[in-house]
Amino acid sequence: MGSVSSTRTDVFLGTQRVARVCQVTPATVASWIDQGHLKGHRTPTGRRRVASGDLVEFLRAHGMPVPAELLGGGAGETVVVVEDEVSYLRALVRTLEGSDLDVEVVEATSGVDGLLEIGRVQPTLIVLDYRLPDLNAAQIIERLLQPDRGPDAEVVVVTGGMDEDELTRVRALGVTRIVGKADGMDAVLAAIREGLAARRQAA
């Protein structure tokens, strides 16, 4: 998978993760962000996110210990979710953050934005809505293909419906986890769990 050059590689942490690091409540973290004490931004679903690099700077400025996983700019496993339907995106992010999976979630609402985020954070796993306003999942995966192998991340495709040609095309790109939205969040979460486990085994 390609990468976007920058001075550092950040992942974005939710208020719950930041709260655990700082040993405060998520509400306190939200207040810090809203008051400008801690740099942060809001996602398309309205959730607050803090870049790992900004959190490191905040911790050092306030004499707090910096966890080792933050020093490398990372924070464990990262999942990029590319979905243009905001209500579904919000529900999926809420499901992931409420699960026992200790992952950070990065959101995108278009194929181009998804490619930019994937290149920037180099995620462990990518969740792609098959139909997006600009690109479909197959087109995104084709852009992520490494020479002589597949994308450098596990991929889960979620869909409201695909015809046989579309299914064949996605499977030919190496995607084995294709989940219907009608199957519910539990099915999507199970596919994500399987993908993360496969990624760990391959590492």
CATH code of the domain covering residue 145: 3.40.50.2300
Residue 5 within a domain: no
- Considering 49, 71, 93, which residue would you say is the last residue of a domain? 71
The last residue of one of the domains, among 56, 71, 86, is: 71
Rounded Cα–Cα distance for residues 196 and 154 (Å): 7
Same domain? 52 vs 95: no
Q: What is the pLDDT of residues 15-51, one digit of tens each?
A: 888 888 898 988 999 999 999 999 998 877 778 888 8
142 and 94 co-located in one domain: yes
Is residue 99 predicted with pLDDT exceeding 90? no
pLDDT digits (tens, 9 = 90+) for 142-189: 888 765 555 678 999 999 888 899 999 999 988 999 999 999 999 999
Q: Is residue 2 part of a domain?
A: no
The answer on 62 and 149 residing in a single domain is no
**End of a domain among 50, 71, 92?**
71
Query: What does the pLDDT average to over 52-76?
Result: 79
Domain that holds residue 54: 12-71
Same domain assignment for residues 66 and 82: no
- Is there a domain that residue 198 lies in? yes
User: How many domains is the chain built from?
Assistant: 2
In tens, the pLDDT along 179-203 reads: 999 999 999 999 999 999 888 877 6
pLDDT score, position 106: 87
pLDDT of residue 7: 39
Taking residues 128-150, what's their average pLDDT?
82
Return d(Cα 29, Cα 24) in angstroms, integer: 7
The pair of three-digit structure tokens given for residue 10, joined into one six-digit string: 């950040």
Contacts 24+ apart (CB under 8 A), 56-64: 59/21, 59/22, 64/22
Residues 95 and 128 both lie in one domain: yes
> Looking at the predicted structure, is the pLDDT value of residue 57 above 70?
yes
| Average pLDDT value for the chain | 84
Question: Which pLDDT does position 147 carry in this prediction?
Answer: 56
pLDDT band at residue 72 under the 50/70/90 scheme:
low
Residues 89 and 43 in one domain: no
Helix axes 185-202, 86-98, angle to 10 degrees: 60
DSSP-derived 3-state class of residue 85? coil
Please tell me the predicted confidence (pLDDT) of residue 200: 81
Q: What pLDDT shows up at residue 3?
A: 32
- Judge if 25 and 121 occupy the same domain: no
Residues 165 and 193 in one domain: yes
Q: Indicate whether 48 and 100 sit together in one domain.
A: no
